[in-house]
Amino acid sequence: MGGAAADTDSLAYPISPEYVQSWTPVRALSELIANALDEDPNAQVSWAEGTLTIADGGPGIPEEGLILGVSTKSAEQIGQFGEGKKLACLVLARSPQIGGVRCETVGYGFVPTVERRKLLGGLIPSRSAQGSEVLVYRFHPNTRTTFTVECPQQLAQEAIGRFRALAEPGYQPPPAPGVCVRDGQPGRVWIGGVLVTRMPGFLASYDLSLNHKALQNRDRTLVEAAALRTAVRRILADSEDPQTIDLFARHLLGGGKLREQEQFFDAVRLPRPRAAWRAWGRTHLPEQTYFSVPGGEEAALDLKDTGHAELATTGLGRYEQMAVMNLLGVEAARARQRRHHARNRNRTNWVSQKALTDAERALLDECCQLVRSAIGPFALHHVKVYDHSDESPAPTASTGR
């Protein structure tokens, strides 16, 4: 893969021109920043006058860190000049968008450059005749680790923006399993504050705890699918945050859809999160509600006639809709109909005469006068008005509205 140059102040690595072509300059800058933050949580990252500076107080880059194929990365520590930093140097040195790249580390420094050349001056036969790129490190003495990269401000800001620790003063990695992030563009997934991937269609963003580091690929661009699903569902199912509940409840009741990873409703089992969902329902939903299921059409029509409001989550399947409605305290049409009739059996809804309209009050007076004139002045003693009655027989000495 690589070899050392004859002189002692440089190292040369022959590399295929097609190697890591998928890496962008932003991806390479992000790798340098991530390694610095892994080495030193107080690492400094700034851009000024065309140069991005990344400085950390870590132990520096040992000899092993300069050998391609050697990495001291582990599940707990992603820094330590693993393959990512070496590949980042290659990508930045080869990119036409990037100017000079310089690394100052403990004891020495180097400038990575890429040269096109034939191996051994062309003595080795070549099938493609394209030759190789040679990544060259030119060394000089130094005392700490600082990368300086000449690059456009836009690239620097995009790379810096991938790290919550740089954008949010006082940021601390979240406890397991992580946290839901509602601010900014949805769909971002961090691990310990380092942006790993974007999930189109997500309603929120998520910062997973550091114990998920082992579940990302070496390029920090993907999280193992099952682990991401488990973490996101647990974060949401255990949340008592009213704003998070409000975000999902309004989205669903408005007909919005959710990706499978965010469909967590059947996993909400802890008492406090369930109480928080029920409290949202009592605060924001009409007093009399129901939701429809197949076979409950007649009950739904009956409930509509009694002033009930129908709720639906058209973006979810039937099973998930039932789980959401259960959290909100909303009953299916048949169950709600039975409960409504049980509560109102043999009850009469009386209406205060003050609540009558002028026309209704005039009609009532006219009817009372008609009865008294036909039967006698003592035919009616006290008249009460009702608008609905389930009593049998109907109330006497009263009039229906």
DSSP assignments along 328-384, one per residue: HTPPBHHHHHHHHHHHHTT-EEEE-GGGS-HHHHHHHHHHHHHHHHHH-TTS-S--E
**Sequence ranges of the domains in the chain:** 10-162, 178-237, 266-344, 348-400
Write the DSSP string, 44-78: EEEEETTEEEEEE-S----GGGGSTT-----SS--
* Rounded CA separation 179/160 (Å): 21
- CA torsion angle for 371, 377, 382, 386 (degrees, to 10)? 10
When mean pLDDT is compared over 197-201, 298-302, 341-345, the highest value belongs to: 197-201
pLDDT digits (tens, 9 = 90+) for 33-50: 988 888 888 888 999 989
Residues of the chain above pLDDT 70, percent:
82
Print burial letters for 290-311: b (CB count within 10 Å at least 16), e (below 16): bbbbeebeebbebbeeeebeeb
* Rounded CA separation 249/264 (Å): 12
Q: Give every strand in the sheet of 178-181, ordered side by side.
A: 178-181, 205-208, 188-191, 194-198
Task: Flag whether pLDDT at 173 surpasses 70.
Answer: yes
Q: Which two tokens stand for residue 169?
A: 């003063």
pLDDT at residue 334 in the model? 79
Planar angle of CA 65, 67, 72, nearest 5 degrees: 45
Task: Flag whether pLDDT at 77 surpasses 50.
Answer: no
The identity of residue 97, as a single letter, is Q
Task: Flag whether pLDDT at 83 surpasses 80.
Answer: no
pLDDT digits (tens, 9 = 90+) for 354-391: 888 999 889 988 988 898 888 888 888 778 888 766 65
The identity of residue 121, as a single letter, is G
pLDDT band at 153 (very low <50, low <70, confident <90, very high): very high
- Tell me if the pTM is above 0.85: no
CA 164 remoteness from chain centre:
14
pLDDT digits (tens, 9 = 90+) for 189-216: 999 998 999 999 999 999 999 888 877 7
Q: Does residue 25 or residue 299 have the better pLDDT?
A: 25
Mean pLDDT, all residues of the chain: 83
Q: Which two tokens stand for residue 12?
A: 């040369």
Task: Flag whether pLDDT at 4 surpasses 50.
Answer: no
Looking at residue 183, what DSSP letter applies? S
Read off φ and ψ for residue 180, nearest 5 degrees. -90, 130
